[in-house]
Amino acid sequence: MLQPSSKSKRAPAAGADVTGRAWLMLALATAGFALNFWAWALLSPLAPRLKDSLHLSSFQQSLLVAVPVVVGSLGRVPVGALTDRFGGRVMFPLVSAATIVPVLHLGLAGHSSLAALLVGGLFLGIGGTSFAVGVPFVSAWFPPERRGLAIGVFGAGMGGTAISALTTVKLVDAHGTANPFLITAAALAVYAAVAALLLRDAPGRTVPTEPLTRRLAATFTLGITWQASTLYAVAFGGYVAFSVYLPTYLKTGYDLTQADAANRMAGFVLLAVAMRPVGGWLSDRVGPVRVLDGALALVVAGALAQSFTPALAPVGTLAFLVMAAALGAGSGAVFALVALLAPANKVGSVTGVVGAAGGLGGFLPPLVMGALYGAYGSYAVGLVLLALVSVAALAYTATGVRRGVARVPVGRPN
- What pLDDT is attached to residue 408? 61
Q: How far is CA 259 from the centre of its chain?
A: 23
- What pLDDT is attached to residue 411? 47
Q: Which domains does the chain have, with CATH numbers?
A: 20-200 (1.20.1250.20), 215-408 (1.20.1250.20)
Q: Max Cα separation, the chain?
A: 60
Measure the CA–CA gap between 348 and 86, rounded to whole angstroms. 11
The C-alpha R_g of the chain, in whole angstroms, comes to: 20
**Quick one: three-class SS letters along 364-386?**
HHHHHHHHHHHHHCCCHHHHHHH
CB 156 within 8 A of CB 236: no
pTM given for the model: 0.77
Measure the CA–CA gap between 408 and 414, rounded to whole angstroms. 8
Per-10-residue mean pLDDT, the chain, length 414: 40 57 95 94 84 81 82 88 91 96 90 86 91 90 85 87 84 88 96 96 83 85 91 88 82 85 84 91 91 96 93 92 95 88 81 85 78 83 92 92 71 46
Q: What is the DSSP letter of 12?
A: S
- What pLDDT is attached to residue 19? 84
